[in-house]
A and B are shown apart, each in its own frame.
Chain A
Amino acid sequence: MPRLPPALIREAALQNHLLPLLLRACRDLPSARNEFRWLQEHARDTVHAKTRKRHKALPEDALIHLKSPRHGEEKSQCPQRKDSSVKSKADRLEKTSVAVDANSRRSLFRRRVFVHRGHRNSVVSHTSGRGLRDAFQEQYTARSHAQSLLAKFIARRARGVPLQYILGNQPFGNLEILTRKGVLIPRSDTETYSQHVAKLLLSWLHTATFASHTRLPGRRKLRILDLCSGTGCIALLLHSVLKPPNLDSNIDLEILGADISMDANLLSRRNLQHNIAEGLLHPDAAQDVSFQQMDILRLARSNRSKTRRLFNHGSPSAHQDAALDDTWDVIVSNPPYISPKDYRPGGQTNSSVRKYEPKLALVPPVSGSSGDANPAVDPGDLFYGPLIDLMSSVGAKLLVMEVGDSQQAGRVHEIAMEKFKNRDDDVRFERWKDDGTERLLSTSRASHQGLTDGLAAEGTQAASATTDSHASDRAVVVWARELAEWRMSVRWDGRV
């Protein structure tokens, strides 16, 4: 990592004495400033949540709310709103009312994203016993608590602890995904393509229901597997888009998340509950989504019927009527894909990721232990072969696999071509970039040599102006059967 220029450190120190510490983790001023603000808000929220808890014992009507005299800049208060839905918001605003600490009263940190924040300095006091003085005293201690908490947070962050572990959550689409040590933090790249997958599925469902009812024979249920689910973010995001929380939708969904880690499993279940409680997920998600502890690599080695049985056993609505119902439509996976070489210091992997995030979620197990040691396979690509096998054995029509970079995408493409070499399934391969560019890839090695360039070029062109040569590939996508057909007609104009 290059050294930070002293001028930058000086500039940061001028704004706030804690800011240079954040610069160690963030490497540039704007993001350090953003993180400072988020940590500050979190510190205030934490302290205030504690004081609230203490006051909870008191009866509601015994509390009086005093407003502090307005200061010069404290004029943009929110007006009185009366409906109850806003009331909770007002409560939340009050929560963040602990005043800004003295240091941050410098120019920059006066900024408030939410103008109401910090403006309403309400003092909660108890009429009978404690007086105004106590209330102010309390406010003062709360303030100094928040300040010392912030200093602690920043010290941790400076050591490289991921911001999301300190704050305890990460926004993901519309959702708030809880994070904890031992489970990989959801990445924004994952967010982007997951949302794209959800939108594609939604539009496919629309055309499928309008065109003919025979596409999903026997049922109109969409069954999705999220393999290596981690926090459960992909599974939950798909649910939140396919079945939005505030809309009545007739889509019948079933989503199963599988991960080898017990910690991940517990966390993903908590995330399911948390997001339903927050109203970010449809209440049906409690039935539709489930998470199981499973070893994907071992599962992929078992035969087709056993695999299906295991997955269906894991799903909440255990399907007895197996013959009709035991296939899954979609597999999405963000497997570990960093090779040991890249994981080592000096490799591609960021030191904060190495130090604080679980290796289990990042680096595939050494291939020797998985049984079929194949020297031809790059140790980072260990999961992709089994994932493609699983696609066939559960009868999935769409497989979306996250990859680390464009080279890996190329290798995964090779693996996929190899796997589908002798099958007459109608399959299509695509690569998706971070910036939304999609490319259609050749389906067989024979045509690979001559065709790749032409097709790739055409593909990029069709993907309009969103090309950024710096973006790397983020996902390899396999379409099969009727979904491949649909995809070819709507996206690639029936090109072969």
Chain B
Amino acid sequence: MSCPLYAAQLVAILLRIRVQVLRLTFNPAVLSEIESQISPVLLQRARAVAAEHKQLAAANATEYDVSIAKKIGELSPVAQALKEWEDAQNSLVELQGLLDDPSSDAEIRSLAQSDIESTVAELPALTSRLKKSLVPAHPFANLPCMIEIHPGAGGSEASLFAHTLLEMYQGFCARMKWPTQLASYTADDSVSDKALTEALLEINQPGSYEMLRSEAGVHRVQRVPATEKKGRTHTSAVSVLVLPVLPETGGESDLDYEDPNSDYYIAPPDVRSETMRARGAGGQHVNKTDSAIRLTHIPTGIVVSMQDSRSQHKNREKAWQLLRAKIAQLRREQRDAEITAMRRSVMGGVARSGREDKVRTYNYSQNRVTDHRSGSETSNLDAVLAGEEPLEAIMQSVREWLSENEVKGLLAEEELKDKAKQNEKENQKENGKK
């Protein structure tokens, strides 16, 4: 990770902080500005969580309960982050007091001054950690994942690029030392070169979902195709889906496939299972080697099919796994959409990152890769396509962008709640007057 780019960025950040700090030390009024970097609403929420954490911890000290212990585990990052943040704030106030105190001598003043500088330098990191700790972890964060690749608009050019993307992710996973398996692959027969119409890459690494979920969306390629005679640049699109691999039995985790209220529940009558080409004479009359299975989830219209294994049984298992993942993902997306819609009423435009949205452009003629969400850009196209560090850097920037967005959303949500509460109070008051 000791890439020069990083070092340069780090230096730039440090310099900026330094400048801020210099300005700050001469203007105590800015201090409160720093403090207000975290909104009072979020702070309030963090304090509430910390209070709950404290209470639960006390309760668990007397009587141990596994579910409570688990809850404590979930809350403790917030409590920890809040504590560190508050400590820093308190020491700042104290130090400022020392500075302001006319009885302090020069030596103490200079010590306090340097302490203030170091604390202030720490503060942004503490603040952002506190904010991020408030964002709940993605429910699929710890799961392995599957990447599904489909060429979109752009004909054979898109299917060629789809194959390039598949190789990019394979390269990335190889570099991360993650075991992968190409669970399904359909070549595009109309193209003589390597091209695909559909591919499913399984990544059997817990937590890979969290790393790769930034990749979901439409990837756009701009280049002059090999077949193009007049040298015009074409734009084609490939859609990438990132699906969680749900554990086979819901037993150990919170996932319960049997509970009809669970997000992961699929009612068996809702799924139509077909063995393909089941028509005509069957049984002993023919000897089919075709073991393809197609599952259709009737309420959502999701169709998955598997044919790569000789075993019908294995194809069916794979198909069910994929169907389950797709439905879970869909339900999750629906929830996200609800939340986004709610937030939008407060925040105005929220940048979307759904499956139909353009997320990244690979421009061959300019040798450039741009991510449209984080705005990060690199001119090392080859390294990105090989799945090397520049790709990881882009993914990192998207993850940061995502979590910042989450924080913003959270803030909006809290404000909304706050408003609702106040409205209620006012209503009550009015009612009381009447």
Contacts and interface: CB of A to CB of B under 8 A. Distances in A.
Interface of A: 11, 15, 26, 29-31, 34-35, 38, 73, 75-81, 106-108, 110-116, 162-164, 170-174, 184-185, 187-192, 195, 334, 336-338, 342, 348-350, 352-353, 357, 361-362, 402-405, 434-436, 464-466, 468, 470-472, 474
B272 A466 contact: yes
Contacts of B285: 338, 342, 348-350, 353, 404
Interface stretch (B308-316, B348-356, B402-410): B308-316
Contacts of A466: 269, 272-273
Interface string B280-293: 01111111111100
B269 A465 contact: yes
Interface string B188-209: 0101111100000100000000
B141 interface: no
A15 B272 CA distance: 34
B24 interface: no
B140 to A, nearest CB: 22
Dominant secondary structure of chain A at its interface with chain B: loop
B278 A79 contact: no
B177 A79 contact: yes
A38 B201 CA distance: 20
B167 A108 contact: no
Contacts of A73: 167
B282 A474 contact: yes
B185 A353 contact: no
A470 B170 CA distance: 41
| 5 A-B pairs closest in CB distance | A171-B311, A79-B177, A76-B170, A75-B174, A464-B269
A342 B283 CA distance: 13
Given A163-B289, A164-B287, A465 B189 contact: no
A270 to B, nearest CB: 19
B211 interface: no
Given A75-B170, A76-B171, A115 B181 contact: yes
A436 B298 CA distance: 17
Given A77-B174, A353-B286, A436 B194 contact: no
Given A34-B307, A404-B285, A112 B195 contact: no
26 contacts: A26-B289, A31-B289, A31-B290, A34-B290, A73-B167, A75-B171, A79-B178, A79-B179, A110-B194, A112-B185, A113-B185, A162-B287, A170-B310, A171-B310, A171-B313, A187-B287, A190-B283, A349-B281, A352-B287, A357-B287, A361-B284, A435-B274, A466-B273, A471-B278, A472-B281, A472-B282
B289 A435 contact: no
B346 interface: no
B187 interface: yes
A74 to B, nearest CB: 9
Interface in B130-189: 167, 170-171, 173-175, 177-183, 185, 187, 189
B187 A474 contact: no
Contacts of B167: 73, 75
